[in-house]
Structure 1
């Protein structure tokens, strides 16, 4: 990562504006409630703005990130790869913006996809303006690398990587939770199961639990940064 490359990203305010723009809405997206691709994508700009307005760190989290940022070699910059169709991004990115503010960190956001959604694997080099970042900060499971969101990479002032947060906090067993909600119930047809599962997922996303998981993500990040600075 270089200062010039980092500077090409969007601030959080710019990102919110972008999500409601014709350029963004014309891209392919995904709706987890229907578990289906959507084109044009839904406009989440107001949701993101309102979630940011409500998002609050705990006093302890705010004090901790300030303390870490003040240390030599402490966190100074956050690079985020995001897509607004992702409920994980909508959950975490506003809180990451609050974390950046509390610590005085510079934050820049880059979109992951081109006009169509990256369904699997990685984009080809040069496939779109952010393909280099998507490839550099790919997720890896079971020996396979793939594009993912959100990714939040924490750097020192000189762009030494300190920590990388990927997708969701460890306490949120996403596959198990969503799998249980989408699982067929006795007597349901396939169509009924899909519709009911979508409603249940929608209710979950509007419940208090996304805030619980967002706070868990912030705590996990702060703890990892503390450990890195203490042991490096």
Structure 2
């Protein structure tokens, strides 16, 4: 399938949010709280590109819970249409966007032009967010350790709480998106 066909197959972001069960409240919190910077020159440039975005995501993903609402706020300012595909139901496309050539990490934002050609890709994390995650993971015991599962679950809870409340990370996501998009 072409990216244009994937976009047409994808659901609206409204439908995706309506169907959410795991992180709906957290996603909506970020969406309702995030204050997009005043960036009129950038917004104007993006409006003239007439872009659309395919988002590979899943409801259970904490990174998507934080990144998707920031993308949605940017899309509102720039007239970019956002459509959602569930990663696990669309592995044919997901496997074309593996992180480090091996991981099905999400979210992935695929920006396409009017004819359906990819012009940019973003995801799954901004660099500063990746550094934060790497630092948390470095504190985990070995996977074979008895306490690994408990400590891993604690780390996930810490990530979720941080993702839904840390405005500095939200701004890093916005800046990373902007840095990707100003090059097109």
TM-score if structure 1 supplies the norm length? Answer: 0.67
Q: Is the 8 A contact 1:75 1:154 kept in 2?
A: no
Q: Which has the bigger relative contact order, CA under 8 A and spacing at least 6? A: 2
Q: Structure 2 CA distance, aligned partners of 1:145 and 1:99?
A: 29
Alpha-carbon separation, structure 2, partners of 1:179 and 1:146: 16
Report the equivalent of 1:180.
138
| Matched residues, number | 179
What CA distance in whole angstroms lies between the structure 2 residues aligned with 1:52 and 1:198? 25
Q: Distance in 1 between matches of 2:47 and 2:151?
A: 49
**4+ residue runs over 4 A deviation:** none
Aligned to 2:174: 218
Q: Name the residue aligned to 1:156.
A: 113
Q: Cα RMSD between the aligned structures?
A: 2.5
Structure 1, unpaired ranges of 5+ = 21-42, 115-129
Distance 1:195 1:136, change over 3 A: closer
Contact 1:80 1:109 in 2 (8 A): yes
The alignment status of 1:77 with 2:56, answered yes or no, reads no
Q: Which runs of 5+ in 2 are unaligned?
A: none
- Whichever of the two has the greater Rg, that structure is 1
Alignment of 1:1-232 (within 5 A): 1-20=2-21, 43-60=22-39, 63-71=40-48, 74-114=49-89, 130-139=90-99, 141=100, 144-172=101-129, 173-183=131-141, 190-191=146-147, 194-195=149-150, 198-199=153-154, 201-207=156-162, 210-228=166-184
Is the contact between residue 138 and residue 148 of structure 1 (CA under 8 Å) also seen in structure 2?
Answer: yes
Deviation of 1:103 after TM superposition, in Å, equals 0.7
Do the aligned partners of 2:59 and 2:65 also contact (CA within 8 Å) in 1? yes
1:127 paired residue number: none
